[in-house]
A and B are shown apart, each in its own frame.
Chain A
């Protein structure tokens, strides 16, 4: 049983959505990222995504671009990603890695899966790999019992949603808008319909798979709105923004803690 799925189920049993927080490894430093992610766990995240810093983050807006650039300039390596996963997973919260495909391809798909598993990682989110090109990864994930989180988009046809949900394990990542990462002032009006279509496809195939919604969510009020129609709320850039804007690490962590608490109230619809 997927630990990510278990976390979603627990949230559901509590009558709320799961809170999924993203942070890239190595930002603002390897230890700084570990501390920030542990703070996110402590303040109420149910699942953590650790980003693997990559030189060409084609799907990311300026905030995540800045953070991964700092991480790479700081010398972040794949080994640091695994170390970060290990330190976060020790808290008992399921920890995924979100990565563009080339670093995994370069590392060796099976070797990456093996080392992620031994670090205690739960699986991969792959924003530029769809099931069609993902044969090696599907096999490695099955061999090492890892979650395969693929994305669905507002533009996805029903046929594609079916293919993607059939290949997914852990949860399905619904991209709430057509665009790159980064907090927005409002949730796209098409998002509830996408979640509905994805759930219909899951049901039709007799699968049991939660649907998390990400891209653009930045505060508790938006989290509450998303929690009204999705199983999970995914937040990334807003956490990074707190760290980028803070004058020092301590106030950055305080900002991350406060945001997590706000989002945690949001997913419980206490706002």
Chain B
């Protein structure tokens, strides 16, 4: 059945449970463990709230009124289903493989983040809480949270590393326009991980009235599972759209991985399809060998961070290392525990993409397809070029285009020398 066929006359999907169909994998277990990963390494003060959230989410996902409300918002507010666009001119640079772009950039607010945020904002109301907080790196999750808060009448505070508020100034303005308070975080490396620390500090003190809308498949249980379930619609749609368009499943599915929510969202529906290869591309920065990168699964080791057991970038004494990526949204030293599990079981492969490779792919998509991708998503595009060249012209590859690049114009203009000084030099 196609997405369109699944819709009733009102335009609302008839199959309201489709968001939460959870076939194939048996993870996590009841205590949030994906094999050796995940769990709940959190202060006791948060345990009651995490238990409450687990119960509410379990109840909500089988409550027809909740799923209907979410599906309505996804369809009539966020604009789902997102398109699957064939990228023929781009594909010529990817070994001639057939490249299909899952257009999460076309969602309201410009990225996949809205899928998760709408779900968690509805849960917040269901729990009777009045305020949401969020961490953000590139600002995509912060903007999405501020948007959902405005829509549903919730107070909103977003924590953002000071470095990121500078490189993503436009998104700071967007969040403030939407009525959110944006708090620049000045501790540590002043990027995403420090924004997470500060959001947890707020939450410990405000948990009675506040829900922490974690933006990726990370954190203590139930967040990695819950965010996955809210994001898995990406892959559910893409799988059906690919079948409709090509009559078969893709040979490979490709996504960028920071915390990993767009990637899990894309991968999850394909995990039981053994013939579909899953590729995650991490932020290689200046190259993993340089030490200036954020490629957790490629270059990290096992540990505990932000409430979960997972791979992370740490020194020999367990201190978190500073990361580097041109993409603020991938500039994070940990990764969602389900990715660690997919990595160790071999079901998915993870590789690095350097800043330069990502920016080359960024430019290529602009000029061949007229689509400006987020720099995060450009890592997936650069990965798709490599996978396409390896698999050859008979292959079909679905790429998660997780967000649009408007927010990155300042960085891109600087990188490519498109600033006014550059014009004068011509």
Contact = CB atoms under 8 A, between A and B. Distances in A.
Nearest to B189: A55
B44 A156 contact: yes
B205 A179 contact: yes
Interface string B29-51: 00100000001111111111100
B44 A58 contact: no
Nearest to B301: A106
Contacts of B49: 155
B205 A56 contact: no
Contacts of B318: 54, 102-107
B207 interface: yes
Interface stretch (A90-98, A128-136, A140-148, A202-210): A128-136
Nearest to A129: B41
A155 B45 contact: yes
Interface stretch (B111-119, B149-157, B302-310, B380-388): B302-310
B188 A55 contact: yes
A65 B200 CA distance: 14
Interface string B184-212: 00011000011001001100111110000
Nearest to B322: A55
B274 interface: no
A160 B44 contact: yes
A77 interface: yes
B47 A155 contact: yes
29 contacts: A55-B188, A56-B197, A56-B305, A58-B43, A59-B43, A61-B201, A72-B319, A101-B41, A101-B304, A102-B305, A102-B318, A103-B319, A106-B314, A106-B317, A128-B43, A129-B41, A130-B44, A132-B40, A133-B39, A152-B44, A155-B45, A155-B49, A156-B44, A157-B48, A160-B48, A175-B44, A178-B204, A179-B204, A180-B201
Given A127-B43, A128-B42, A178-B45, A59 B201 contact: yes
Contacts of B306: 56, 58
B421 interface: no
B45 A103 contact: no
A55 B320 contact: yes
A261 interface: no
Contacts of A130: 40, 42, 44, 47
Contacts of B207: 155, 178
A107 B49 CA distance: 31
Contacts of B193: 56
Contacts of B307: 128
B424 interface: no
Nearest to A54: B319
A58 B45 contact: no
A104 to B, nearest CB: 8
Contacts of B187: 65, 69
A152 B44 CA distance: 6
B317 A107 contact: yes
User: Which of B44, B48, B205, B317 has the largest number of chain A CB atoms within 10 A?
Assistant: B44
A196 B318 CA distance: 37
A61 B187 CA distance: 11
Contact of B45 (A69, A105, A153): A153
Interface string A48-60: 0000001111111
Contacts of A180: 201, 204-205
